[in-house]
Structure 1
Amino acid sequence: MNLTLDNPASVAAPFGDRFAHVARLDIGDGALLMLAGQVAVDDDGEVVAPGDAAAQAERIFEIVRGVLAAHGASFDDVLHIRTFMTDLGDLPAYGAVRRPLFPGTPPPASTTVEVGRLFLAGAVLEVEVTAVARSAAEH
């Protein structure tokens, strides 16, 4: 087994390099990818669409797509999604963005919790993803 921590060039670096965007554990012909929680920020670290769950979900999943792609994975390879929301009333808006990205039946395992606040003012969602990077022969 080989563990690497990575900040792929395909997405903006995390705030002050305080964490890695992804922990990759290579196992056999594939790898387990554990993505750090992502919030909707632009390349300068500014919150995108403060307070708007749908717009933030779109940006978050753009970032997640970039991190996954940098490690040879896609939304088809997602095992689990963990979502932190400041208001569960935003669940329909979030779901409208997320649902089309995971059309399989059943979709990935999921956990969604309401929290009092997130670490950036204006951020209303944070999403963590666990995925698998399969060997080329498995795709």
Structure 2
Amino acid sequence: MFTTVEYVNPDGACEAQGLYSHLTAVPAGTDLLFVAGQLSVGGQGEIVGIGDFAAQFAQVHRNLEAVLTGAGVTWNHIIQFRTYLVHSQDIATFMTLRAELYPTLFASAPLYPPNTLLTVDRLVKEDFLVEIEAIVAGPSARLPHLRPTTPEAAS
């Protein structure tokens, strides 16, 4: 039976510099799902929150929620995040928004998945300010309902 992952800060590890843990323990036999970087894209393909970091952060998390739900998993199955910000000046806002949102998403609060935070020159489109990708633990039995994204993958 699948259980959720466990977030750990091992003895001897330095203090985390944000809302993340140093390590994730994953149940044996767990399949991994790799979530592509989610951007601030709305339902019609439009960029949501141009110039507004908080609005983009919120939309990215709505998009992550949709992917997780579609895969039949929850926030508590996330093993790791990788976050890309375009402006280092947004780091403080990012930390504040995470501190407000994550206790509502994760049953593991105050422990959260490891996160690598990077600042980059730009994302795929100039107006994007934040992108978040994730690795998720989930048993393959949950996956048959997912549709392939290309005709070749269906055969």
TM over 0.5: yes
* 2:125 is equivalent to residue 120 of structure 1: yes
Identity %: 29
How many Å apart are 1:87 and its aligned residue? 0.7
**How does 1:1-139 map onto structure 2 within 5 Å?**
30-103=30-103, 104-133=109-138
How many Å apart are 1:30 and its aligned residue? 4.4
Which TM-score applies when normalising by structure 1?
0.69
CA deviations over 1:18-75 (Å, ceiling 9, x no partner): xxxxxxxxxx864311100111011222211112111101001101111111111111
- Structure number with the higher strand fraction is 1
1:36 and 1:67 map into 2 onto residues whose CA distance is 9
1:100 and 1:30 map into 2 onto residues whose CA distance is 30
Answer whether contact 1:75 1:102 (CA < 8 A) is retained. no
Q: Which residue is 2:146 aligned to?
A: none
Corresponding residue pairs, total: 110
How many Å apart are 1:102 and its aligned residue? 3.2
Higher-RCO chain (CA-CA 8 Å, sequence separation at least 6): 2
2:32 and 2:100 map into 1 onto residues whose CA distance is 23
How many Å apart are 1:121 and its aligned residue? 2.2
How many Å apart are 1:133 and its aligned residue? 2.0
Answer whether contact 1:76 1:102 (CA < 8 A) is retained. no
How many Å apart are 1:97 and its aligned residue? 2.9
Letter aligned with residue 84 of structure 2: F
- What SS class does the counterpart of residue 105 from structure 1 fall into? coil
